[in-house]
Structure formats: structure tokens, C-alpha cells
Amino acid sequence: MGMLHLMVFWLLGTALGASFSWGVPLNVNFQTRVQRECSFTRYPSLCQNTLMELKDHPLHIISALVNKTISETNLPSTYFQTLSSQLEIQDAQLAKSSTGVYKEKIRTNKDGITLIGDGKYSTIIAGDDSVAGGSSMPDSATFTITGDGFIARDIGFQNTAGPGGKQALALYIASDHSALYRCSIAGYQDTLYALALRQFYRECDIHGTVDFIFGNAAAVFQNCYLVLRRPHGGAYNVILAHGRTDPGQSTGFSIQNCRIAASSDFSPIKHSFNSYLGRPWKQYSRSVVMESSIDDAISSRGWVEWPGAGSYAKTLYFAEFSNTGPGAGTSRRVNWPGFHVIGVEEAVKFTVGNFIAGTSWLPSTE
């Protein structure tokens, strides 16, 4: 790793949420024809209106600004060669990372951590631990965050172990009220471990092969790009593997207004492999894909069984609503009791405001 300039900012007197702003409000266009969600402050935030077509409400995004009430620390040197060194400093909660690849493994349980980079493919935290290389699945993660209120903007998380690395996590996240905006999360098998609690992803690119979004969080992915890569050997691709173990748990994955497609190098051979929207990791797995663009890399059956768990087809909840694209047709989808093509009344249950109570923790600037 070359010399990378990193700056630590100290909070002055007030909570981070009161003194930090992304800038002006922006429209967060989630299309259910029932609910509209908009604006950004510390978190991407929400408001409610009648939904219109996306083309009638373009996004207006301003670059992130550090509020003047946050001051640069007076340490002898404010520059560090690793991101870890910033996060280890007492009371340091906001880390500004310049362009570069940070080859390190980071674990933190601090609450209120905020990371800001120069772009989802410009500022990258990269590691290469994997199960094939001797790590356990959780310990393979490049970045692990278990403190609440985690925010990341314009930064990338990568695991470069490759398709033969078996499970190799780029990001392990168990942070309540976490929000990732314009980030990239790249790996192959088990790229993103959304373990638990309420999580929000907006305009993120997530790359992988097998179960590359998995866990038992209540997570909404909005306006994201889910990128299918070439799987290892004769394996098949699966995007979602949700792990709900009890029907009373209010968890699940909600994919809203996203794009699902093959990577540029996988696209020419995508029909030589099977790719699926999801499979049930646990008995009461729950995943919904709505108003998203689905490439024909996705098999016409859409979903696939977990090996040896055929009975899960009766207890899972998988649903689709108003998707588009050559892979969106539902006439040849699985005929499991737990699979549903839903209407708007059901779909609205999986919006940010309803599914993860976003109106209570993604405050509006308006």
C-alpha cells in the first residue's frame, strides 16, 4: 500500500447526528405507487407521498460536505497510513479516507462510526482471507462492524480471495440503524454478511456468486446494482440467502428498484451457468424483489432450493412485484407454497418506512 492520507475528525460538543450533514435533501425514489421516500442528512431519510414515475422525479445529489462544527484533530500528525489507526483512537467516530487501496482487516464494535471515501471504486478497503485459506467464515471478513449507527459513503469493501476461495466475506455487518450510500461491496461467495438488525443500502454495487447477500438482518436495498460474476467450476449463482429461523422474526431482504445483471466479463457466457434470485438458508427465509430490472442471466424458475431442505418451500416467504427486464417473467417461476407474486397492498409492507421503521431513524431534512 502506498502513502495514503487519512484524516480524523473530532466531534465538538454535540452528537454526530446534530453536527454532520451530507448536504441538501435529495429525492429517494422508491417506486411502489403507494409510498415515496426522500432526502438525506446523516442517514438517507424518508418522506411519504404518492409515488410517481422515476423519470418525473430525477435524483438531485450534492457531494458530501463535512460540517464546519466538526474540527480536525490537533494530534501531532493528522495523517495515518491505515484506516484502523483512525478507528482505534479514542472518540474518533468519523474517518475521511482519500483515494487508494487500504490493504487491511478491520474489526470494530464502536457505535456511531462514519466512513467517507472519494468514490465506491476509488477508496477501497481490501482483504483476501477465506475459508479455503484457513479462516472461519465470519473471520474471513475484510471489514467487520458490530457497533450501531454505522454509516459508509463513497467507499468500497472487497475480498479478493477469488472464486476458488469458498466463503470469503468483504463486509460483515451487525449494526442497527446502519446505512450505506454509494458504496461497493465486492467478492465471490458470501460477499455481504448482513447478519442482523436494521440496515439500509442505497445506490450500492454488490458483486458476487454464491449467496452473496446473506444473513438474518432486516435490510432494504434501494437503487442498488447487484452484479453476478462467473461462479467457480460448475457452481451456480445465488444472490439472496436469508436466514430467518422463526416466523415471528421481523427480518428479511427487500430489493427495491434495483438492477440485477451479469458483470461485463460474465455476460458473454452467462447462459452457460444457472443464476437465481435466492434460496432459503433457513426454514423461514424471507426475500422480496420488487420493481427491479432483472437480466436474463436469472433462470426462468427464479429461485432454487437449499440442498437437502426441500421442506423449506412450505415455510419460506419469497415474493416478486412489478419487476421488468428479460428475466422478470413469473409464468415459469417455482410453484412452491411459499412463493408469491404479490400486489401493491402486500408490497408496501416491504418499503423502508414499513419494513425497517425508517421514518423513525432516517430523519428528513425537509
Give residue limits of the domains in the chain: 100-357
Q: Smallest Cα–Cα separation from 350: which of 226, 252, 257?
A: 252
Cβ atoms of 276 and 332 within 8 Å: the answer is: no
Supply φ then ψ for residue 7, to 5 degrees: -120, 135
Which fold, 100-357?
Answer: Pectate Lyase C-like (2.160.20)
Mean pLDDT of 14-40: 32
Distance CA 114, CA 83 (A): 12
Q: Is the pLDDT of residue 46 over 70?
A: no
Supply φ then ψ for residue 268, to 5 degrees: -65, -20
Q: What pLDDT sits at residue 258?
A: 98
Cβ atoms of 211 and 243 within 8 Å: the answer is: no
Q: Smallest Cα–Cα separation from 125: which of 173, 79, 178, 185?
A: 185
Of these residues, 205, 211, 246, 265, which one is catalytic? 211
Span between the terminal Cα atoms of the chain, in Å: 42
Q: What pLDDT sits at residue 91?
A: 55
> Is 148 in the active site?
no
Q: Is the pLDDT of residue 89 over 50?
A: yes
Distance CA 306, CA 25 (A): 42
Q: Quick one: pLDDT band at residue 99, thresholds 50, 70, 90?
A: confident
pTM: 0.80
Share of the chain above pLDDT 90, in %: 65
Q: Quick one: pLDDT band at residue 98, thresholds 50, 70, 90?
A: confident
Mean pLDDT of 276-287: 97
Lowest pLDDT segment from 85-99, 169-183, 281-295: 85-99
Q: Is the pLDDT of residue 128 over 90?
A: yes
Q: Is the pLDDT of residue 242 over 70?
A: yes
Between 264 and 82, the higher pLDDT residue: 264
Residue with cell 484506516: 83
Lowest pLDDT segment from 112-121, 132-141, 313-322, 339-348: 112-121
Q: Smallest Cα–Cα separation from 190: which of 206, 174, 201?
A: 206
DSSP 271: G
Q: Quick one: pLDDT band at residue 352, thresholds 50, 70, 90?
A: very high
Between 227 and 3, the higher pLDDT residue: 227
329-365: b (≥16 Cβ within 10 Å) or e: eeeebbebebbbebeeeebbebbbbbbbebbebbbbb
Helices and strands per DSSP (H, E), number in the chain: 5, 29
Q: Smallest Cα–Cα separation from 230: which of 259, 210, 260?
A: 210
Burial of 315 (0-12, 13-18, 19+ CB in 10 A): middle
Q: What is the pLDDT of residues 168-215, one digit of tens each?
A: 999 999 999 999 999 999 999 999 999 999 999 999 999 999 999 999
Distance CA 217, CA 17 (A): 23
Cβ atoms of 200 and 178 within 8 Å: the answer is: yes
Q: Is the pLDDT of residue 7 over 60?
A: no
Q: How many residues does the chain have?
A: 366
Cβ atoms of 45 and 115 within 8 Å: the answer is: no
Q: What pLDDT sits at residue 70?
A: 25
Q: Quick one: pLDDT band at residue 54, thresholds 50, 70, 90?
A: very low
Between 45 and 82, the higher pLDDT residue: 82
Between 23 and 57, the higher pLDDT residue: 23
Q: Is the pLDDT of residue 262 over 90?
A: yes
Q: What are the helix (H) ranges across 56-120?
A: 83-88
Give every CB contact of residue 229 below 8 A, 6+ residues apart in sequence: 163, 188, 207, 208, 209, 237, 263, 265, 266
Q: Is the pLDDT of residue 65 over 60?
A: no
Distance CA 233, CA 212 (A): 17
Q: What pLDDT sits at residue 88?
A: 64
Distance CA 49, CA 52 (A): 9
Cα atoms in the Cβ-side hemisphere of radius 13 Å centred on 11: 18
Give every CB contact of residue 251 below 8 A, 6+ residues apart in sequence: 196, 216, 217, 218, 242, 244, 286
Mean confidence (pLDDT) of the chain:
79
